[in-house]
Structure 1
């Protein structure tokens, strides 16, 4: 499995990671995580908010406990990323006291002594980012955290945060049908030497080639939350996915593999984290790291799925 560097502070991970948010707490999930590790995946992503089988029914720390259980005895082989900052009833929180409380809770849930990559899940508008990053800097000095990240942060917040302590990675949605990051965030990350970790790199299932009708949608993302899954938007997005699927067939790969390989081609410090419950899908996804494109093929992808091609807003 090829490796990539996230940021300029020395963190190296597999070119494709694994998102665990939608994984239920059962032996099958444990086997999938361990199988991903066996197949070269080193970056595993979770959050304190995530529960068993998604986040809407979450109890804090449940998904972290699953990941910790799956990686028990193999912790040194994995790069563990988790997040803090979204609460069930108090909105976003980033005050230093909450940061320090959250890291201890995550360390306990994961059953580990330190977190490799610790993200602020969402920026707290009521707390200056300098205070939040200052608290995270203290955690690095204490050895509880190795590297600091931000999730879904705007460009100005990233720049201010990076001035306090180097930001290693920014996690945000990025795929062939969600390309807003290309406007301001991605250029800034390249300027500052910060890695990008795209979540939902397969368009919440649309870019797997498996979605043809509403019943095919994953239940992990309630349809009513996303306008892209509704009415005329859904029909247009299925048509878009079909065009991408046709090119994948011509390329001799799956739609998911083409979508992941396209992301990898957008920069050397981009590491997508597709989430799946099945090991066979993990193996399929990892093969994307072996796919390359000619300039003509990249131009054709741009033609059939330009920025803004998806119908409806991403939230």
Structure 2
């Protein structure tokens, strides 16, 4: 299991409009335990890059309070549109340097401004409008004047014996095209979304794997979204009273779908926020592991140069809480 040494998070959004030089983007710096970084006596710089290379050379960030900094773009910045990757460098008073975030980069998305959108006039007319317009020109189906004769010929050269025959054909094609759009959604996405996307709530339960126990809770909040064959889940679960009979390694159960039953598949992740645990001095970090064909995640302790082991019920207290997010194949 890999654990980041530090993290950085956008506080109030990470989407900017191209050309915006007024708004500042606030970033929270966190240490490995999720605590806010003390920036007393430090300087902070930031750089930005795209997938093609660096866009902004190191530039000073504004240090705020409680481990927060802010950055903003300037008129001369060659940002363009798309994903922008942000990295921050904290230099301490003793000269030591720390890069944020430890895992990959902060990602900002710059969207296109309408200043860059070319004006394109669009003509639109309904079938009823076209019928009424033609009827004002051609009064009778048997009219043989020049305009009526021209109206019986399509742009591809197909000629109809009567104007009514052409209009009936156009109406049939239009109705067939409309029916196809509604059956599959715009550009075909409606049908895919209705079949492959689902979201809802679930009830997270803290249990022992030897004796499950019957704990009392102050909060049991679980949310999920199923996209195709992958489930994304969030959980916030907090005890108000622990069942003394709970025993064995600890798991959070109640997930709405079981993990895909594939040999060797063991999805895992970090438990970034927790409280009221009695952890080992050598294993201060907490993560989770899921096994095939189960609808729960097993909580695991880890540390430097030691094996990871399961969190056990004796390390749970009356006010323990966990907040986790993750995903797995179903």
* TM-score category of the 2 structures, normalised to the smaller one: under 0.3
Structure number with the higher strand fraction is 2
Structure number with the higher helix fraction is 1
* Larger relative contact order, structure 1 or 2 (CA cutoff 8 Å, min sep 6): 1
Compare CA radii of gyration and give the structure with the larger one. 2
TM-score (norm 2): 0.26
